[in-house]
């Protein structure tokens, strides 16, 4: 389908597709098997300008937006969903600064992040605060011109490889979500510690780690927005970043479909390629149709977000929900088309199914996305009365 991309967007897509084909795909199986985060690929992504896509030109980026980030994520994820996160999770970590940072913070942090000189990460989730993000316990106590942070964040993508962490912590625990604040924390601040490294089912080429704040001293000027605004900063961040997960899911689904079509054309059973069997054809047709429907929703949502439309939370949640469910379904069917070979690690397809699963879970489970969508519908209906 034609999504009427501009010349600039088409050029970006072609560039990332080339990088994915030539540099990422040949490494994907090894990075997955050994759970390696590739700094060599980060260097290539940085040289190609991929880290600057969501950063305004005034701060060293290319001033593009969520649609361009979606294009990058989709193309990289066709080759390896884990590697995609070296770019997408850095964008997630940058969003709180881009959305709510002051001039000084933007000038100080964004140019080097846009250049890919450093990576960023976003720290919201805690052992007791997953779907219920508002029940966080990490504390930020004011001490003169610093805050002292104490607490543990878990499942942090880019944890341990990022230099800049945007962190949500409680400045006023009595006030719940209204008592949370957002901070920019550097990994060289005293009291910043790395915890457990996770051994994951999929996206194994990404770095996922616990981050521990042990009397971590953060300068007051690193607070993003006012005290008490942190939860809203986090929610606005997720509204912008969820299409990135959706497009990662799209890339996973498209990558799996491409492999399944190739396999079906060459695998001979009953004296003919299985692609000539109607049972297989119907599966391929459904897979392709679901992907195209999800892509249309992702691109529409991304365009809406880039135009500063109202109520982007709803469309952002919708595209993440739909694309990730499609990725799970399509990759499961792709493994089915490969049959017994699909279940074996010698073939590339099972990785797509393992990688797809996380897209239904992170940046808000799909149950949370449904909650966000339903609440928004109900709120809109109430406001019309
Ligand atoms: N933009 C701006 N503000 C928002 C917002 C949004 N998208 N969503 C909520 N808020 C505000 C609300 O308006 C409310 O503000 P007031 O206190 O001024 O009324 C405040 O934030 C609290 O919102 P709410 O009452 O809806 O919070 P809940 O505790 O019910 O939780 C959900 C909301 C479930 C949506 C939130 O906890 C969530 O997104 N959970 C999933 C977290 C997640 O995605 N984690 C993944 C890890 S991060 S990679």
Query: 159 CB less than 6 Å from ligand 1?
Result: no
- What is the Å distance from ligand 1's center to 175 Cα? 14
Question: Distance of CA 291 to CAs 135, 218, 259, 317, 382, Å?
Answer: 35, 44, 14, 17, 34
- What is the Å distance from ligand 1's center to 319 Cα? 18
- What is the Å distance from ligand 1's center to 238 Cα? 9
Residue 46 pairs with which residues in a beta bridge? none
Residue from 271, 252, 245, 212 nearest 348 by CA: 252
**Confidence band for 310, pLDDT divided at 50, 70 and 90:** confident
- What is the Å distance from ligand 1's center to 234 Cα? 8
Protein residue with least CA distance to atom 43, ligand 1: 364
* Residue 97: predicted pLDDT: 98
- Give the three-class secondary structure for 23: helix
Average pLDDT over residues 327-343: 98
Residue 311 has pLDDT above 90, yes or no: no
197 classed as catalytic? no
Query: 121 CB less than 6 Å from ligand 1?
Result: no
Protein residue with least CA distance to atom 25, ligand 1: 177
* Residue 236: predicted pLDDT: 97
Query: Could you tell me which residues come within 8 angstroms of residue 371 by beta carbon, excluding any fewer than 6 positions away?
Result: none
Taking the alpha carbons at both ends of the chain, their separation in whole angstroms is: 40
- What is the Å distance from ligand 1's center to 231 Cα? 7
Render pLDDT for 110-133 as a digit per residue (tens, 0 to 9).
Answer: 999 999 999 999 999 999 999 999
Query: 368 CB less than 6 Å from ligand 1?
Result: yes
Protein residue with least CA distance to atom 46, ligand 1: 363
Query: 44 CB less than 6 Å from ligand 1?
Result: no
Residue 334 has pLDDT above 90, yes or no: yes
Query: 124 CB less than 6 Å from ligand 1?
Result: yes
* Residue 290: predicted pLDDT: 98
Residue from 241, 204, 198, 201 nearest 82 by CA: 204
* Residue 123: predicted pLDDT: 98
* Residue 202: predicted pLDDT: 98
Render pLDDT for 164-207 as a digit per residue (tens, 0 to 9).
Answer: 999 999 999 999 999 999 999 999 999 999 999 999 999 999 99
Render pLDDT for 55-112 as a digit per residue (tens, 0 to 9).
Answer: 999 999 999 999 999 999 999 999 999 999 999 999 999 999 999 999 999 999 999 9
Q: Extract the tokens encoding 192.
A: 């910043």
Question: Distance of CA 251 to CAs 13, 39, 319, 335, Å?
Answer: 12, 22, 14, 16
Cβ atoms of 28 and 78 closer than 8 Å? no
Render pLDDT for 226-262 as a digit per residue (tens, 0 to 9).
Answer: 999 999 999 999 999 999 999 999 999 999 999 999 9
Query: 311 CB less than 6 Å from ligand 1?
Result: no
Residue 385 has pLDDT above 90, yes or no: no
Query: 25 CB less than 6 Å from ligand 1?
Result: no
Query: Phi and psi (nearest 5°) for 262?
Result: -60, -45
Query: Could you tell me which residues come within 8 angstroms of residue 58 by beta carbon, excluding any fewer than 6 positions away?
Result: 106
Residue 328 has pLDDT above 90, yes or no: yes
């Amino acid at each position: 389908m034609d999504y009427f991309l501009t010349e600039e967007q088409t050029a970006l897509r072609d560039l990332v597709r080339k990088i994915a084909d030539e540099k990422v795909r040949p490494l994907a199986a090894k990075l997955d098997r050994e759970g390696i985060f590739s700094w060599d690929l980060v260097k290539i992504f940085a040289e190609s300008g991929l880290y600057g896509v969501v950063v305004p030109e005034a701060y060293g980026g290319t001033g593009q937006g969520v649609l361009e980030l979606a294009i990058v994520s989709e193309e990289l994820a066709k080759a390896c969903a884990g590697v995609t996160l070296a770019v997408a999770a850095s964008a997630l970590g940058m969003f709180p600064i881009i959305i709510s940072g002051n001039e000084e913070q933007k000038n100080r942090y964004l140019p080097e992040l846009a250049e890919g000189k450093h990576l960023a990460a976003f720290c919201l989730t805690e052992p007791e605060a997953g779907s219920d993000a508002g029940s966080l316990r990490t504390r930020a106590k004011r001490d003169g011109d610093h805050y002292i942070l104490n607490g543990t964040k878990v499942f942090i993508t880019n944890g341990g490889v990022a230099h800049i962490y945007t962190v949500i912590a409680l400045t006023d625990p009595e006030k719940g979500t209204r008592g949370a604040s957002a901070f920019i924390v550097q990994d060289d601040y005293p009291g910043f510690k790395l915890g457990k490294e996770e051994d994951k089912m999929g996206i194994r080429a990404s770095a996922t780690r616990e981050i521990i704040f042990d009397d971590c001293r953060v300068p007051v000027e690193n607070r993003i927005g006012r005290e008490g605004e942190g939860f809203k900063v986090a929610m606005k961040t997720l509204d912008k970043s969820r299409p990135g997960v959706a497009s990662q899911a799209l890339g996973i689904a498209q990558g799996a479909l491409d492999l399944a079509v190739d396999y079906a054309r060459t695998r001979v059973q009953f004296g003919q390629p299985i692609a000539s069997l109607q049972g297989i054809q119907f599966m391929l047709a459904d897979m392709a149709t679901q992907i195209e429907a999800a892509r249309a929703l992702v691109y529409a949502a991304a365009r809406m977000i880039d135009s500063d439309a109202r109520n982007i939370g709803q469309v952002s949640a919708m595209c993440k929900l739909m694309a990730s469910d499609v990725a799970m379904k399509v990759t499961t069917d792709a493994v089915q088309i490969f049959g017994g070979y699909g279940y074996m690690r010698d073939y590339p397809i099972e990785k797509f199914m393992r990688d797809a699963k996380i897209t239904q879970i992170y940046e808000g489970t799909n149950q949370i996305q449904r909650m966000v969508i339903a609440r928004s519908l109900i709120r809109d209906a109430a406001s019309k009365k």
